[in-house]
Chains A and B, each alone.
Chain A
């Protein structure tokens, strides 16, 4: 049976993203949901949602990615999020020379793409500094949502956080609150800390050709993108579908897998 669509599932530490692509790579469906505490349950939920949207898992090749990729029993293959983000970003940004910065829930990746394929990558260590989780925790401490924190940061300045460790940084934020520092200034310090960490990581991968683009959950925050552009000294691009880059890459991998399998037959 010739399949009509391909499925990419990206189970991240915070959110699960699903993309269904047609054979000509146009997007048929995008799903976004919190991963929750069980990626197994999330995978099952995705299966049901796909079915009710008219894309049963049996009807198309499926590739899973993200840290929960091993918890998707019905996937035909697992591909790491690095390869998927690279592929997805190439597709979304229509480029084959690219530096991708993906700020995810629990890790930050810098991926170099040459000729449409990953040529090098860097991931942060076992530490949440410079990740979405860091932003989330600091937003909680300030009693705002992460996107509010980013907009507030645009109005602030003059304060900085020195700790790289999330736990210590949080206590710094609490001291700043205790000192009566303006929330906007604290928000500024939080974003500034992420930007510094990410840009120093990206700096180690410097010298590549092509644009720099941001993917992952934070790419919809204009102030973050602007600060990152300033820190890197070049325009950082974002796209509406940036957070689906991993799932998109997984779906493209599924498409390739399906083609390879039908070629073998």
Chain B
């Protein structure tokens, strides 16, 4: 038996079912990524990671666990990686992005739950994802009702800690989030047996800031009129960054950014001049959810930015590195995280400001506002987003979709018509 298969077996995975998932992934990767010509050489790294998505990184995590480190699985960009890293823990993203896991989630959740939640629960209960098996503790958060209730179900199967995210952004909410971070730090210390010191937290803050800066460098390259990387490739990089070691992630993103900056200087673009530039906003696109980007980019558009959790919300804003007490560091963390504009907050006009700013920064021709089915929060925000964009004279298309392939043709009609509209 080969390495990975025995590893999956040791993780208690359902090998037969998992093999079905392994069958569909190569086809999708081929169709979405390998159809592209002239990709940056730096994408080799992410091509390798996605080819071995259930192999390389899970194996590394298990090796680290053998050394006594703990792995924390998270579902939200509000959960502070810095705290976990400061206690020598490892963070891995756990959001499910595959239709493959949805039926497993529907076995215990209402059908009218968003596919991300259904897939996440299905991936755990179906035992078909190594990351969901490896994580020693799951860290949830109260960003929507569906997740809150799903964490209760997951909590029956795995140690679960839930952080209480505020719903408003008043000064007292920032203080409240600081206290939540402090309480979480205590939990992480107990669980790992390691003490979080000012020095360690400062180092963790620095490491995660470096990762944010590296991701931001790649995104900066996408602002250029000469587009050096496709939206699909940038999305893959972003999705994998939730799983990777933060130091290596920063290295790889910086290396990619070097190449992209050179491409811009040399005038190397992945699309013909005049290709309409699309900003995608809305709910996250968890790996391997590539449907929207693939349809946009095979309908004559190019995605230049994602205003979403798997996008700008993950890396914009840095944490202040000058604090000298834990109290000060927790506050600095709270201040940075509370700048992230999630639809779970009211009011959330900051998101509209972000979108309008990014439309300018990324030289956007049109915005596609897409939410996952049954995500009441982002669906409702479409009204305000679309009104603000129309007032600013920016064409916008609002869409709703899930992980199934069945609406691809409907999406192609809408997105195709939208790009025809942009082309005039």
Contact = CB atoms under 8 A, between A and B. Distances in A.
A80 B414 CA distance: 8
A118 B417 contact: yes
SS of B interface (majority) = helix
Contact of B420 (A67, A80, A125, A126): A80
A107 B420 CA distance: 19
Contacts of A81: 413, 417
B413 A83 contact: no
Interface in B52-101: none
Interface of A: 67, 79-83, 107, 117-121, 123, 125-126
B407 A126 contact: yes
A220 B416 CA distance: 29
A67 B414 CA distance: 11
A35 to B, nearest CB: 15
B413 A80 contact: yes
A80 B395 contact: no
A118 B400 contact: no
Contacts of A67: 409, 413
B421 A118 contact: yes
A83 B421 CA distance: 7
Contact of A123 (B409, B413, B421): B413
A118 B417 CA distance: 9
A123 B398 CA distance: 10
21 contacts: A67-B413, A80-B420, A82-B413, A82-B420, A83-B420, A83-B421, A117-B421, A117-B424, A118-B417, A118-B421, A119-B395, A119-B421, A120-B390, A120-B395, A121-B417, A121-B421, A123-B413, A123-B414, A125-B400, A126-B406, A126-B410
A70 to B, nearest CB: 8
A58 B400 CA distance: 40
Nearest to A123: B414
Interface in B366-414: 390, 395, 400, 406-407, 409-410, 413-414
Contacts of A125: 400
A83 B390 CA distance: 19
Nearest to B398: A122
Q: Which 10 A-B pairs have the closest CB atoms?
A: A82-B417, A80-B417, A83-B420, A80-B416, A118-B421, A80-B413, A83-B417, A126-B407, A117-B424, A80-B420
A82 B410 CA distance: 12
Contacts of B410: 107, 123, 126
A6 B100 CA distance: 46
Nearest to A117: B424
Nearest to A115: B424
A78 to B, nearest CB: 8
Most A CB contacts (10 A, CB to CB) among B395, B406, B414, B420 go to B420
A126 B408 CA distance: 11
A80 to B, nearest CB: 4
A123 B410 CA distance: 9
B374 to A, nearest CB: 12
A79 B299 CA distance: 11
A104 to B, nearest CB: 11
A121 B400 CA distance: 15
Given A82-B417, A126-B407, 7 more contacts: A80-B413, A80-B420, A82-B421, A119-B421, A120-B390, A121-B421, A123-B410
B331 to A, nearest CB: 43
A100 to B, nearest CB: 13
Contacts of B413: 67, 80-82, 123
